[in-house]
Amino acid sequence: MATLVCKACGERFPDTDARWRCGCGGVLDLDFTPSLDPAEVAGRPATLWRYREALPVPEGAELTLGEGFTPLLPVEIGGREVLVKQEHLAPTGSYKDRGAAVMIALAAHLGVSGVVEDSSGNAGCAVGAYCAKAGIPCRIFVPADNSPGKLGQIELYGADLVAVPGSREDTAAACMEAAADTFYASHVYMPHFFHGTKTFAYEVAEQLGWRAPDTVVLPAGNGTLLLGAYIGFTELAGMGLIESVPRLIAVQSAGCAPLAAAFEAGASVPAEIRTSPTLAEGIAIAAPVRGADMLEAVRATDGHFLAVEEDEILAAFRDMGRKGYCIEPTSAAVIAGAARYVRSASPDEVVVTAFTGHGLKAGDKLHKLSGV
C-alpha cells in the first residue's frame, strides 16, 4: 500500500503504524504509487472516492459524507473569467473534508479508539464530522477566540471541544500533549490528509477533460490545499494524465506572511515575522510546519507568493457577495490574491482558484462586513 517516510532522517515505517511523526521529531511523507484509468473513473459516483486507486487507504475502508466533485464554475474576478472550485459546498463547508475523509477512513481502518486534533476551526469541523460518521470519539483543540459558529459546529458533531486561550501555537502545544496517548489526526502532520486534498487536482483535471490549467491560485496557511494540489498534479503528470504541473500562486494575508517574506528574500524556510490581526483567520499561521515544502513546491512550478492587504480581502469578500457567493473572509483572501494575479496574467491563461470556506461559518460577522 504506502510507506511513511521521515523527511528529516529517511527512516521508513509501515502505514499500519498509527504514527504522526518520526522518533527523531521529523515530519512524515508517504511513499505511494497511485494508478488511475480515466475511463473507469467516468461512471463512478461523484465523490472523491472515484479516484480510489489513487488513494492510500485499503479497498473497503472508504468513509463518505458525499465530499468532493465540487462544481468548477466561471466567476468574474479582477475583470476577467477565473474558474472557481466551489469548495465551500463541501459537507462541513470547507475543502478540509477531502483530507478528513481519507485520514479518518485510515484511522477507522486501523481501529483507533479515539483521536485528537487541533485547528483554527475548519479542519476541526471536518475531523469532527468524519469521526461522527465513523463512530470514533474525538477531542478538538481550538483557539478560544475563534469564530463561534465553527466552535458550535464542532460541538454539534459530538466532539469534545477544548477552547485554548492564547495563540494558535498554544492550541497546538496543548493538543500535542494529549497526542502522547491518543491518535493525533493532524491535518498538518498526517500525510494522509494531503492525499485527500490532492483530489482537488484530480477533479480540476477531470473537469477540464484531463488537462491541467495554466495556473492555480491557492491559500498558504499550513498548505494543506497547496501541497495537496501539488502532490495531485505531480502524480497526474507522472501517470501521463496531464502534460505538466500548473504554476502555483500561493496567497497569504499581509498580516501574517512568513512565506511571502521568505520567497522575496530567496530563503528556503519561513521567515520570522511580526503578525498583525487579519480577517483571514484560517491562513494566519506564523510558523507553518511544512513551510519549506510550500516554498519548494511554488518555486518548482515557477509560481510565486502574494501577500494581500485587509482592504483587498474585504473588497473581494463584498465583490463575491454581490455576485451571489457567500464565502468566508479567509476564503476572500484567496480571491483577492487571484484578482491581483490576473492583472498581470496573459488573457488566454486558464486560471483556477477555490472558494475554500462557506461564509455562513462566519455568520456572526456577515452583517458587520457586508458593507451595507
Ligand X SMILES: Cc1ncc(COP(=O)(O)O)c(C=O)c1O
Is 257 among the residues that bind ligand X (CB under 6 A)?
A: no
Task: Give the C-alpha distances (Å, rounded to integers) separating 232 from 62, 66, 78, 127, 202.
Answer: 19, 20, 27, 21, 6
Query: Measured from the CB atom, is 30 or 273 closer to Zn ion?
Result: 30
Query: Measured from the CB atom, is 36 or 341 closer to ligand X?
Result: 341
User: Which residues, numbered 283-302, are part of the site for ligand X (CB under 6 A)?
Assistant: 283
Shortest Å, Cβ 222 to ligand X: 3
Q: Residue 167's closest CA among 151, 150, 144? A: 144
Is 120 among the residues that bind ligand X (CB under 6 A)?
A: yes
Please measure the distance between the N-terminal and C-terminal CA atoms of the chain and give it in whole angstroms: 54
Candidate ranges 21-29, 154-162, 214-222, 266-274; the one touching ligand X (CB under 6 A)? 214-222
Shortest Å, Cβ 40 to ligand X: 29
Is 94 among the residues that bind ligand X (CB under 6 A)?
A: yes
User: Which residues, numbered 184-203, are part of the site for ligand X (CB under 6 A)?
Assistant: none
Is 99 among the residues that bind ligand X (CB under 6 A)?
A: no
Is 221 among the residues that bind ligand X (CB under 6 A)?
A: yes
Distance from C-alpha of 310 to C-alpha of 336, rounded to nearest angstrom: 10
Residue selected from 179, 328, 339, 352 as contacting ligand X according to rule CB under 6 A: 328
- Which does residue 9 touch among Zn ion, ligand X, none (CB within 5 to 8 A, set by kind)? Zn ion
Is 6 among the residues that bind Zn ion (CB under 5 A)?
A: yes
Phi, psi of 75 (to 5 degrees): -135, 140
Residue selected from 34, 68, 78, 223 as contacting ligand X according to rule CB under 6 A: 223
- Which does residue 331 touch among Zn ion, ligand X, none (CB within 5 to 8 A, set by kind)? ligand X
- Grid cell, residue 102, equals 481519507
Q: Residue 196's closest CA among 48, 8, 29? A: 48
- Which does residue 199 touch among ligand X, Zn ion, none (CB within 5 to 8 A, set by kind)? none
Candidate ranges 9-17, 57-65, 76-84, 352-360; the one touching Zn ion (CB under 5 A)? 9-17
Shortest Å, Cβ 17 to ligand X: 24
Candidate ranges 102-110, 216-224, 303-311, 337-345; the one touching ligand X (CB under 6 A)? 216-224
Phi, psi of 220 (to 5 degrees): -130, 85
Counting residues that bind ligand X (by CB under 6 A) gives 19
- Encoded one letter per residue, x for contact with Zn ion by CB under 5 A and - for no contact, window 18-47 reads ----x-x-x---------------------
- Which does residue 94 touch among ligand X, Zn ion, none (CB within 5 to 8 A, set by kind)? ligand X
Residue 25, Cβ density class (10 Å: 0-12 exposed, 13-18 middle, ≥19 buried): exposed
Is 256 among the residues that bind Zn ion (CB under 5 A)?
A: no
- Grid cell, residue 196, equals 485527500
Is 251 among the residues that bind ligand X (CB under 6 A)?
A: no
- Encoded one letter per residue, x for contact with ligand X by CB under 6 A and - for no contact, window 343-372 reads -------------xx---------------
Interface positions with ligand X (CB under 6 A): 94, 120, 122-123, 219-226, 282-283, 328, 330-331, 356-357
Binding site for Zn ion (CB under 5 A): 6, 8-9, 11, 22, 24, 26
